Amino acid sequence: MPPARSTIVRGIEQVRERRKGMELRIQQLSKHFKDKKAVDEVSFTLTAGVWGLLGANGAGKTTLMRMIADLTAPTSGAVFYDGIEIRKMGETYRNLFGYLPQDFGYSRDFTVKDYLEYMAALKDVPIKETAGRIERLLELLTLSEVRGEKIAKLSGGMRRRVGIAQAMLNEPKVLVMDEPTAGLDPGERVRFRNLISEFSHDRIVLISTHIVSDVEYIASRNAIMKAGRIVDIGTTQELVRQIEGKVWEGAVSVEDLTEYEKRLRVVSRRDEGHGLVFIRYLSEKPELPKSATVPPRLEDLYLWLFPQTVLEKEGN
C-alpha cells in the first residue's frame, strides 16, 4: 500500500526543516601570514546547495577552505555550524565534514580499496555500511576497475577521484573541495557534476575551481574572491548583471585577428571558415563594425574581474 498523503507531506516538511536549519556562518574571518593578509575579514553564510568559490591564483581560496576545515586557526574571526563555533565542536564537526585538499596527500602504497577502508575507519563510518558505500563511490567515480591497484600507479585524474571518494565517504553535511576537477577529463567532469548535484540536496557543498563552467552548471551561488576578500556573491544571474551590455560578438578577418587580440579583451574565438573569425570580447562600447551584445556568462565576468587570467577551459 502506498504511504498515506499525510506521511508524504510530513516527510517533505522534515526535509525542508533540515535544509532550513543548516548553515555555515563565516564571521569576519582573517588569516595573516606575517604581513600578508591571505584572508581578510571574510563574512558570508553558506546554506544547503552547491557554492562555487572563484578567484585567481593567490586569492586566498585554499586558506579560507583550510579554516573552514578546521585545519588552520584563523588570525581572527570564526566559523559557526548551526550557531556553534566549529573549533569547539572537535570530533562532532569532523564527522559531519568532508574535505578534499588541493594537494591531496594520499598513501601511495595502499590500494584504492584498502585506502578507502582505512579512511572510512578514521571517519567513524559504521562498519556495516562501509563496504556498500565504498562500492557505490567506486562505481560513481568510475574507479571500480582500479580498486585493487596501488594509488601510486594511478593517473593524476584517477588519484583526484580517489580524493573525491574519501571526502564523500562519511556522507558529510558540509563538503568542501579544493579544485576537485583539476586534471579530470571532460567525461569525468560531467560525471562529477552530476554526482555533486545529486549529493547536495540537503548538504552544503563548497567547490573552488579555475574552470568557471564547472560551477556555472551546478552551483546555485558563487562567491568571488580577490586579494583575500569576497568581492561579490550571488547566483550566476545576479553576478553577471554588472556586465550586461559589455559582452560583444563580432567577426574579424583572420589576418586582423592578432591585432584585435592585442587590443581587446577577447574571451573566446570561433573560426567560421572563409577567412572569418567570430570573437567574443569585453568592452564598454562596440569595437568592431558589426558587433552585437550577447547575454553575459560567468566566464565573461571572471575575465572582467581578473583581466590577467588566461581562461582554463573544460577539456584542457
Q: Is 62 in the site for ligand ATP (CB under 6 A)?
A: yes
In angstroms, give the least distance from the CB of 224 to Mg ion: 15
Helix, strand, coil % in the chain, rounded to nearest 5: 40, 30, 30
* Single-letter amino acid, residue 123: K
**Which positions from 98 through 137 interact with ligand ATP, judged by CB under 6 A?**
102
Q: Is 181 in the site for ligand ATP (CB under 6 A)?
A: no
Largest CA distance in the chain: 72
Q: Is 102 in the site for Mg ion (CB under 5 A)?
A: yes
Q: Is 236 in the site for ligand ATP (CB under 6 A)?
A: no
Closer Cβ to ligand ATP, 62 or 170, answer by number: 62
Q: How far is CA 208 from CA 98, 113, 176, in A?
A: 14, 27, 8
Q: How far apart are CA 144 and CA 138, in angstroms?
A: 5
**Which positions from 244 through 283 interact with Mg ion, judged by CB under 5 A?**
none
Binding-site member from 22, 24, 26, 38 for ligand ATP (CB under 6 A): 38
Q: How far apart are CA 29 and CA 104, in angstroms?
A: 24
Find the part of the chain contacting ligand ATP (CB under 6 A) among 4-12, 33-41, 74-82, 138-146. 33-41
Find the part of the chain contacting Mg ion (CB under 5 A) among 54-62, 129-137, 164-172, 197-205. 54-62
How many residues contact Mg ion, by CB under 5 A? 3
118 binds, among Mg ion, ligand ATP, none (CB under 5 to 8 A by kind): none
Binding-site member from 39, 49, 62, 117 for Mg ion (CB under 5 A): 62
Three cell numbers, residue 119 = 579512511
Find the part of the chain contacting ligand ATP (CB under 6 A) among 61-69, 109-117, 122-130, 249-257. 61-69
Three cell numbers, residue 263 = 587590443
Q: How far apart are CA 136 and CA 131, in angstroms?
A: 9
Binding-site member from 52, 60, 180, 296 for ligand ATP (CB under 6 A): 60
Q: How far apart are CA 55 and CA 308, in angstroms?
A: 12
In angstroms, give the least distance from the CB of 211 to ligand ATP: 12
Torsion, Cα of 98, 103, 109, 110 (10° steps): 20
The Cα angle at residue 227 between residues 221 and 229, in degrees rounded to 5: 45
Query: Which residues in this chain contact Mg ion in the complex, by CB under 5 A?
Result: 61-62, 102
